[in-house]
Amino acid sequence: MGEEDWSVGKESDQDEEMSRDYPRFAVVGHPNKGKSSIVSTLALDESVHISSTPGTTTSQRAFPLKIDGKLLYELYDTPGFQRAREVLEWLKREDIGADQKTGRVKLFVDTFRNDPRFHDEIELLSPILGGAGIIYVVDGSKPYGVEYEAEMEILRWCGQPSMALINLIDETDHVEEWKRALGHYFRLVRVFSPMEANFSQHRVLFEAIAQLKEEWTASVNHSMELFALYRRQNISQSAELIASLLAGVLSHKVSQPITSEAVSEQERTQLSERYKKEIRALEEQAMRKIAALWSHSEIEKEDSLNHFLDVDLFSKESESIFGLSKKELATMASVAGGATGAGVDLMLGGSSMMLGALIGGLVGGAGAMFGFDEAAQIKVLGQKLGSRRLEAGPMKNPNFPYILLRRVLYYAIEVANRPHANRKKIQMDQERILSCEWIDGKTKRSLEAFHYRFRQDVAVDEKQLEGYRDLIQSILMEHISN
């Protein structure tokens, strides 16, 4: 695989070394034992086909770990063995010493490269012969079987560093018998459940993989640091998305022009529905972004809390001239009148005792107050000076931000902690969400101050959003395996 050079300036010697001889690992085994699930979880890739139907993986597929285009290691998903006994019999046909066994396997691959009968074996053996370490996968929930021995023997012939992973697909446990059998073929045997593995288990597995070959240790350890960095970056960005969502939703308003004399109940209901729809869309959008951030774009959710917006929402009528409400226009006119009066006072050298300012202010304010409606109807250049609108939002219900916050936190934590092999729907269960004790009293008080601020019609500045983001981030850090 060619390497892209993204770097600016000279790379360090260590980096260059890593780039030239990066570790490779081929995940191999019997069909339908969870190889693709393991690859999906280790590579954080949801595009891997996972199915109970055997033979879903038909060719090798590489999953490189790259940082800024620089390759650190490569993981291969491979098809399962199909004719292991036949391959092994072919390998054993010649009486050869241990030093020639790898060569014999290479000869097999070269000989049968175009033979469709051995397509799967060629696909799985090629990366190993190209230098990949072997990660042999078995299902520890099913009994050990002698039919595995042929394929384990073939792998031994390859002469590459190897380890076995016992994948617990079901609840039944045959791990010990597998360990006894695998111990004869592999130096390292580990249990790993890709459907449930959290980041700590991921890390432990990589620590084991790092031991396979001394030359690979630095690169694999560095990869683990990168995974941790990747998670921190994602936590930070998730917090940012959640903070922006809350700030956006709590300040969200909708309005529509009023055409008739009186606002009908239907108009109010329509506006209220539109408001709720927009809030749902904002939440959905944020959730989609969070899922994409964690490479879970395809994940689905089952939401039993569709009525989380069933809270009272009041709508109100507003009228404005040049964007100013009646009160604002009256204040403005009062100031303008006062200033004009003050000018007259100034011209009289103060002898009017500021009566001009007082009268001007009163006349201006009262004029705007009483003449507002008439002024709004005046047409200039074909346009009315005033406009009437029906407005809904921002949501004043004090519990609403916490319901929304809990929902989106729950979703983010679920997505972040979910291995990529797990394709089940996220259950947005109301009771489970509301029972999560994520927000303690102190945090709630801090959050409340921000929620109050978001509800005001004030632009939220960077610092405030940062403060809110930090609170969210600390909650996420606590609950996302890192």
Tell me which residues in 382-401 interact with other proteins (CB under 8 A): 383
Task: Tell me which of 198, 256, 331, 340 binds other proteins, using CB under 8 A.
Answer: 331
Looking only at residues 350 through 379 of this chain, which bind other proteins when binding is defined by CB under 8 A?
350-351
Are 481 and 198 contacting, i.e. CB atoms less than 8 angstroms apart? yes
| Shorter beta-carbon distance to other proteins: residue 320 or 430 | 320
Assess contact for 271 and 392: CB atoms under 8 A. yes
Q: How far apart are CA 52 and CA 55, in angstroms?
A: 9
From 44-52, 257-265, 271-279, 362-370, give the range in contact with other proteins by CB under 8 A. Answer: 44-52
Amino acid at 361: G
Whole-number minimum distance, CB 209 to other proteins, in Å? 14
Taking CB under 8 A as the criterion, the residue among 11, 15, 56, 273 binding other proteins is: 56
* Residue of the chain from 206, 230, 402, 438 that contacts other proteins (CB under 8 A): 230
Nearer to other proteins, 7 or 14 (CB): 7
Element (H or E) spanning 76, and its range?
Answer: strand 70-77
Shortest Cβ 236–other proteins spacing (Å): 8
Structure tokens at 207: 């620590």
Peptide bond into 127 cis (omega under 30): no
Interacting residues with other proteins between 408 and 467 (CB under 8 A)? 456-462
**Binding-site member from 149, 153, 196, 319 for other proteins (CB under 8 A):** 149
Left if phi > 0, otherwise alpha if psi is -120 to 50, otherwise beta: which for 323? Answer: left
Shortest distance in whole angstroms from residue 436 CB to other proteins: 26
Smallest gap from Cβ 432 to other proteins, in A, equals 28
| Contact status, residue 278 vs residue 252, Cβ threshold 8 Å | yes
Find the length of the chain.
482
Give the residue, chosen from 3, 16, 86, 470, that forms a contact with other proteins under the rule CB under 8 A.
Answer: 86
Residue of 17, 83, 263, 387 that binds other proteins (CB under 8 A) = 83
By C-alpha distance, which of 141, 33, 111, 45 is closest to 78?
33
Q: What residues between 5 and 24 interact with other proteins by CB under 8 A?
A: 6-9
Q: Which stretch binds other proteins (CB under 8 A): 82-90, 153-161, 403-411, 471-479?
A: 82-90
**Nearby residues of 428 by Cβ (< 8 Å), 6 or more positions away:** 301, 302, 303, 304, 305, 407, 410, 411
Distance CA 368, CA 379 (A): 17
Tell me the per-residue interface mask from 93 to 132 with other proteins, x by CB under 8 A, - otherwise.
------------------------x--x------------
Give the tokens for residue 240. 């940012």
Dihedral sign, Cα of residue 147, residue 148, residue 152, residue 155: positive
- Verify binding: residue 244, other proteins, rule CB under 8 A: yes
